[in-house]
Structure 1
Amino acid sequence: MHHPDSVVALGHLSAFRREFYSCLSRRADALFELTDAVLCCDGPVRTLVEASLAAEHRRGHGSLYSALANGRVEIARLRRALATVPLPKAADGRLVLAVDITSWLRPEAHTSPARVLCHTYGRGKDTHIMVPGWPYSLVCALETGRHSWTAPLDAQRLAPGDDAAAVTATQLRRVITDLITAGQWRPGDPDILIVADAGYDGPRLTFLLDDLPVAVLVRMRSDRVVRRPTPPHTPGTIGRPRRHGGEFVFGDPATWGQPAITTHTDTRLYGPATARAWDRLHPRLTRRTAWIAHAEQLPILEGTVIRLEVARLPSGAIPKPVWLWYSRIKQTVSDVNRLWQAFLRRFDIEHTFRFFKQTLGWTAPKLRTPEAADRWTWLTLAAYTQLRLARRLAVDLRRPWEKPTQPDRLTPARVRRGFRHLRPQAGCPTNAPKPSRPRPPAGTP
């Protein structure tokens, strides 16, 4: 007798596979079987032609490349399908969305259009170089607990000349609208938390998404300067009223003053963690870059600044203080602890990027056009979503040298090992392949 949770999980997986097939409006069978081959082939995906040798891919390798070049994925419908499946939430029932940019590097593709110089880290000793490629902005829902699972919801390729903040705001608005339409957020629920790294302009995202039920938490560089609230107006003062208070310089402790909240927490990975929070601080906006076209008076975007210090890092590197800016004020001690822990969960999206590239072979194909790259990217998101939905169904097929793992602690790679056995139960809506050449006449030797 099947466990009720397994029956529900199998129902979600089967429904998503049917909806995913419906989202493929051209070369549907070839694209769907390519996704199954990625999920079921042995070992990491190195090349697509090798993935076509999997038993789940019943067509020739030529149809595989033709489907990527000439197929069609209804992205809007697939995006709504990703927003409809069960999504993880934080302990307080809040949706936490992480957004970040990862690059599909194509330095050798000189004839491929729409390439952008992508900033790469760690490709040499203390060096960061720019490599041509296709940058993608991904939005993922974060989970809690000791694992690296996320729930990818959207992928957006950045074209040359795009404003990253504007593209990200449009992308987040689209995702949040789909989540609200799908019933993932209802009036009365906690606001959706958006977590981003230092490459994003948190105050601008807050301003652009002001009409949505969201709160923004971003990391700020350690050389930033923010302002305190405007001091009370002194009678008899001559001149225009001040809009900004004194400076709060991240690199100058003499300007900090007493924090509104101080917390101390012992963590397993980072050791003792100390968080200090200052209330009602805002950046001083200027009419440059993103705000140059703002016709009205520049807004005052007050928030909470949090300084997090930990004793150690899992990598063994010397930890540096982390500065966070949160778009809400008047936070409590529990709120501050929840916020910095939510930011640390943001690094799970890096594990998702690594799994996409190293196991599912997201950046393995040498595709020429960005449109084909977009199709392959959405197939990769659909493949990962199927692994996430199959977590409660998978059996741990561990290697002899690997330690046993609890069923609820299986990694995406271990779930993928057993997906071939789950595929018949989840159903396969594709049609049998038809021969492309006429059969020989009867009696032909």
Structure 2
Amino acid sequence: MDITRHTTALEQFRCTLYQNFENRADTLMELVDAMCSYPEADAVVAYSLAPVFRRSYSAISKALTEMRMAELALPYLLLPHLPRPRQRPFWLLMVDVTPQPRPYAQVLPDRGMVYAPTVVKGKAPVTIGHQYSSVALGLEPEEGVSASWVLPLLTTRVATDADKEMVGAEQIDALLADPALPFGQELCVAVGDTSYSKPLYLHAHRRHPHLVTIARVRSNRTFYHQDVPQEGEQAGRGHPTWYGDKFSLSDPETWTPPDETQTLWETSRRGKKHRVEVQSWHNLLMRGKNKPQRLPMHLYPFTLVRMVRYDEEGNPLYKRPLWLLVMGDRRDELTLMHIVDAYAERFDLEHFFRFGKQKLLMADFQTPDLEPEENWWQLTHIAYAQLWMARHVAEALPRPWERNLPVMKQRRLSPTLVQRDFGRIIQQLGTPAQPPKPRGISPGRRKGTKLPPRPRQKVVVKSQNAAKAA
């Protein structure tokens, strides 16, 4: 491995990043380095204790308030370093939302009810706060690198009056519409979870001829075959017939013989063999809607994929099968293995959210204003991208109790291991940030000055009818 080449690429990325910070570039650059090299921080203000951060703790909030970057700044920063797909014939984009709980921030605007997982049975999995939509690039396996890496590209806060799936659709549309990025000119696959299989989201991307959308489908959905005119039947007047026989996922009696079937074998981490049956049906249709906007979904046939895993005794491993929907003009270029593997890699985005919240304090920044919070989320994505740029430069430093773990024996660098060694890398490379220049002690506010209290903000709670109308 050419360490010199990877070191040079990291230095170029850091210099370009420093130049893209329009305001308080020195503070923001040192803050990113502190996030990448100080995993001991238990609060955002604790990053001021990192050796690479040479400024006061008060500079963090000031820098995040004045931070200015373009919407596509991170994709342009990573453009010279994007790994072209070699093992699969397409770019893989993954989109999902994740919450930032802020139940006690009574002065923070635009808070709503967001999803929050809980292990307590019977408790509603909701909390009060914000949610953010992120788009990341799926990566192919590399030697000596953990398979859990993704490459974050965009993050946007989802307003309470916005549709989270449509926010993700706008993010992907921005990546595909930019001619400087390769995603719009080549075959690209966008993967989403169940909520991204609704007609409004699928219809929004059909103007991109090179985009194929893969989304999970609930087991209670109903689709239709294309209508086939009977022999000798003449086309009459009236509305044309688009939908043929019903295909109900919950009723096997409505299933026709699959157009394609493939059997795969997998070995679990415990050494057990599993048989995977994959079936597909081509050119199915879903019903669209006429209100509040017309969605002619009969114009967009799709491929439906069903996947079931069986144990060594032939019993299903899960209660329900996995249903996937594949829509796009170039969907026939994807094999069943491409579809299954592409959706399986979507779970790496969950690893990114978990690492970001635990190691980069992605959801821990406390502020009464929206703009600094949004800037912080963008900065955490930049910090993760810098860790990815250093993956081939870092060394595995296991703890004494981690030396015998299989992952440590394989020396596969994960984001945690890169963050653990990033302090050494910064000492060798240096930083483009200039040292602070003390300007004396500020006189502060005049004695007796009283600021008015911030107004309390109401929590936005959507009713069921309002959510359906939206």
Under a length normalisation based on structure 2, what TM-score does the superposition of the two structures give?
0.83
Query: Which ranges in structure 2 are unaligned for 5 or more consecutive residues?
Result: 442-470
| Alpha-carbon distance change, 406 to 311 in structure 1, aligned in 2, over 3 angstroms | same
The corresponding residue for 2:399 is 399
Deviations 1:278-333 (A, max 9, x none): 11111111224xxx222x85643201000111237xxx984531110001489779
The corresponding residue for 2:88 is 92
Deviation at 1:400, TM superposition (A): 1.1
Deviations 1:263-291 (A, max 9, x none): 11112238221111011111111224xxx
- The question of whether the paired residues in 2 share the 8 Å contact of 1:261 and 1:333 is answered with no
Deviation at 1:369, TM superposition (A): 1.4
The corresponding residue for 1:14 is 11
The corresponding residue for 2:320 is 320
The corresponding residue for 1:254 is 253
The corresponding residue for 1:36 is 33
- The question of whether the paired residues in 2 share the 8 Å contact of 1:88 and 1:142 is answered with no
What is the rounded CA distance, in whole Å, between the counterparts of 2:345 and 2:35 in structure 1?
A: 27
- The question of whether the paired residues in 2 share the 8 Å contact of 1:121 and 1:127 is answered with no
The corresponding residue for 2:74 is 78
The corresponding residue for 1:266 is 265
The corresponding residue for 1:441 is none
- The question of whether the paired residues in 2 share the 8 Å contact of 1:388 and 1:412 is answered with yes
What is the rounded CA distance, in whole Å, between the counterparts of 2:84 and 2:429 in structure 1?
A: 22
- The question of whether the paired residues in 2 share the 8 Å contact of 1:112 and 1:369 is answered with yes
Which of residues 421, 429, 446 in structure 2 aligns to 1:418? 421
Deviation at 1:246, TM superposition (A): 0.9
- The question of whether the paired residues in 1 share the 8 Å contact of 2:261 and 2:278 is answered with yes
The corresponding residue for 1:285 is 288
Deviations 1:236-266 (A, max 9, x none): 5766331111110000000011001111111
Deviations 1:17-72 (A, max 9, x none): 112112211121111111111111143x3112222111100001111122122333
Q: Does 1:235 align with 2:233?
A: yes
Q: Does 1:376 align with 2:366?
A: no
Deviation at 1:96, TM superposition (A): 0.5
What is the rounded CA distance, in whole Å, between the counterparts of 1:255 and 1:121 in structure 2?
A: 35
Residue identity over aligned pairs, in percent, reads: 27
- The question of whether the paired residues in 2 share the 8 Å contact of 1:104 and 1:133 is answered with yes
The corresponding residue for 1:304 is 303
Deviations 1:162-191 (A, max 9, x none): 12333222110112234x514x3585x4x1
Q: In structure 2, what residue type is equivalent to 1:199? A: S
Which of residues 430, 435, 442 in structure 1 aligns to 2:433? 430
Deviation at 1:204, TM superposition (A): 3.6
Helix, strand or coil for the counterpart of 1:347?
Answer: helix
Q: In structure 1, what residue type is equivalent to 2:335? A: D
Under a length normalisation based on structure 1, what TM-score does the superposition of the two structures give?
0.88
What is the rounded CA distance, in whole Å, between the counterparts of 1:405 and 1:87 in structure 2?
A: 26
| Alpha-carbon distance change, 266 to 171 in structure 1, aligned in 2, over 3 angstroms | same
Matches within 5 A, 1:347-358: 347-358=347-358
Q: Does 1:195 align with 2:199?
A: no
Single out whichever of 84-93 and 31-40 deviates more from structure 2. Answer: 84-93
The corresponding residue for 1:137 is 133
Helix, strand or coil for the counterpart of 2:350?
Answer: helix
| Alpha-carbon distance change, 320 to 39 in structure 1, aligned in 2, over 3 angstroms | same
| Alpha-carbon distance change, 242 to 328 in structure 1, aligned in 2, over 3 angstroms | same
What is the rounded CA distance, in whole Å, between the counterparts of 2:168 and 2:437 in structure 1?
A: 43
The corresponding residue for 1:102 is 98
Number of matched residues?
A: 423
Q: In structure 2, what residue type is equivalent to 1:29? A: D
What is the rounded CA distance, in whole Å, between the counterparts of 1:154 and 1:84 in structure 2?
A: 17
| Alpha-carbon distance change, 85 to 331 in structure 1, aligned in 2, over 3 angstroms | closer
Which of residues 61, 65, 69 in structure 1 aligns to 2:65? 69
Deviation at 1:114, TM superposition (A): 1.9
Q: In structure 1, what residue type is equivalent to 2:233? A: P
Single out whichever of 214-223 and 135-144 deviates more from structure 2. Answer: 135-144
What is the rounded CA distance, in whole Å, between the counterparts of 1:86 and 1:153 in structure 2?
A: 11
| Alpha-carbon distance change, 226 to 36 in structure 1, aligned in 2, over 3 angstroms | same
- The question of whether the paired residues in 1 share the 8 Å contact of 2:176 and 2:184 is answered with no
Single out whichever of 427-436 and 50-59 deviates more from structure 2. Answer: 427-436
What is the rounded CA distance, in whole Å, between the counterparts of 1:421 and 1:124 in structure 2?
A: 42
Query: Which ranges in structure 1 are unaligned for 5 or more consecutive residues?
Result: 439-445
Deviation at 1:152, TM superposition (A): 0.4
What is the rounded CA distance, in whole Å, between the counterparts of 1:90 and 1:219 in structure 2?
A: 25
The corresponding residue for 2:386 is 386
- The question of whether the paired residues in 1 share the 8 Å contact of 2:177 and 2:184 is answered with no
What is the rounded CA distance, in whole Å, between the counterparts of 2:344 and 2:124 in structure 1?
A: 24
Q: In structure 1, what residue type is equivalent to 2:338? A: R
The corresponding residue for 1:181 is 180
